[in-house]
Amino acid sequence: MAKEIYYKTIRQIRKLLDDREISSTELTKTVLNRSYRINKDINSVITHTEDLAIKSAEAADKRISEGNQHLMTGIPVMIKDNISTQGIETTAGSKILAGYKPPFDATVIKRLKNVDAVICGKTNLDEFAMGSSTENSAYGATRNPWDIDKVPGGSSGGSAAGVAAGQCIIALGSDTGGSIRQPSAFCGVSGMKPTYGLISRYGLIAFGSSLDQIGPVARSVEDCSIVLNTISSKDTNDATSMKRPFENFGENLGEHIKGVKIGIPKEYLVDGIQPSIKQAFEKSLQILESNGADLKEISLPLTDHSLSVYYIIAPSEASSNLARYDGVKYGISIQNARNSVESTFLTRGQGFGQEVKRRILLGTYALSAGYYDAYYSKAQKVRTLIRQEFSAAFETFDVLVTPTAPTTAFGLGTKIGDPYEMYLSDICTIPINIAGLPAISIPAGLDNKMPIGLQIIGPQMGDQIVLQVASNYEKSTNWNQKTPLI
């Protein structure tokens, strides 16, 4: 039993823990041993936090013995390394933050610790979450556990690969333009971007503040709902955090979808989409229809502008957010300079990677005098139109369904030299961040032994219906039970 436990769901492990068939301490050691053993092959974890994990597991065992456990008590978790963890190095995958240990926990970390979840490590990512393949990390590329010659997707590639490979039971990622959903699709796991503002961003190292959102990566839709129940909250430390009554995001998972209206946006079946992706998508639609949903094709013509809008807004926000890294307060600092200006110049030059520099330049240009109105201001206006287009669609439909990505995982190094080709990997996910909507990617097939993802999109605050439809599909297939051979 123990050798396979890292592929079980939260609910399955909860029963084992509560029935005293295994302790959290034993479980944590098993998962850590697994992670140490395979991390040399896939490089999904930057830092293992063994001492903290064992201490947390012992506290979880005590809590279980007292009968005061939460669903997440004693469950091993990995955290994307752009989420602040007190006293634990948090690098955002960048040299410029090497050695930085935050003096505080992000709100989501506090909420995990409050229920005695077990934090086992920090996962690899594209530097500052800027990338679609987790090849941009200063700590080396992460590899896909289904085929180590291929990418896991990005930027939360370490989190998705870690869950897929059994290095943790669930993981947290962040999603700015698809960074949870696309790697979840590439690695054959479930990953959700909640409604913007549902999860506090306090302690998340900012990339694009109006787009960033923390979310779960897990082995099942129910696991995603359990994590959302645990980490969602109003937070006065985050001005964008929503004040709303608590709702159980897993409440409707067992319900049918008869009569649920599903829109199929034709623009998401983009030119050049991998034929196997299209075939798997069509089969998924047949399953949803046979389960009682009403399906209808729709048009969202502004989708074609989403990539352009995103690559003006996101780099613009990044150029502002990353201005704080000057080598004075934290992270690396180049001291052999003639003055403070040169020191900042050298620190950033050596500390930031190529993709981060590219996006800072793009953003600075878009915000500069003479170009602000032509680029940034115009992008914000189109963003409003994209939001309105989605809102109009949700007046008719309960959810929208699309492929998560136009291809399966591609080979390491095959797109890293072509930024435009790399950016196209997120063409199906970016519009959702622009509009601040909830969306989930769930496993929906295999092509040549590589996973395919299905994306389900809901209206703002429609996280429950997204999870309900995703769970219904999941229960009609067995794709989420497939695991890599690593």
Angle, CA 19 vertex, CA 16 and CA 20 arms, to 5°: 85
List the structure tokens of 118. Answer: 């077990």
- The Cα–Cα gap between 416 and 355 comes to 10
Where does residue 486 rank: exposed (0-12), middle (13-18), buried (19+ CB within 10 A)? middle
Catalytic residue, chosen from 155, 220, 233, 319, is 155
Catalytic residue, chosen from 23, 56, 80, 225, is 80
Establish whether 243 is a catalytic residue: no
Establish whether 179 is a catalytic residue: yes
- The Cα–Cα gap between 433 and 155 comes to 14
Where does residue 271 rank: exposed (0-12), middle (13-18), buried (19+ CB within 10 A)? exposed
Catalytic residue, chosen from 159, 179, 225, 316, is 179
Are the C-beta atoms of 146 and 169 separated by less than 8 Å? Answer: no
If DSSP codes are grouped into helix, strand and coil, which group holds residue 190? strand
Establish whether 284 is a catalytic residue: no
List the structure tokens of 273. Answer: 């989409």
- The Cα–Cα gap between 142 and 42 comes to 5
- The Cα–Cα gap between 325 and 318 comes to 12
| Exposure letters 321-343 (e unless 16+ CB within 10 A, then b) | bbeebbbeebbbbbeeeeeeeeb
Are the C-beta atoms of 169 and 76 separated by less than 8 Å? Answer: yes
Where does residue 210 rank: exposed (0-12), middle (13-18), buried (19+ CB within 10 A)? middle
Catalytic residue set: 80, 155, 179
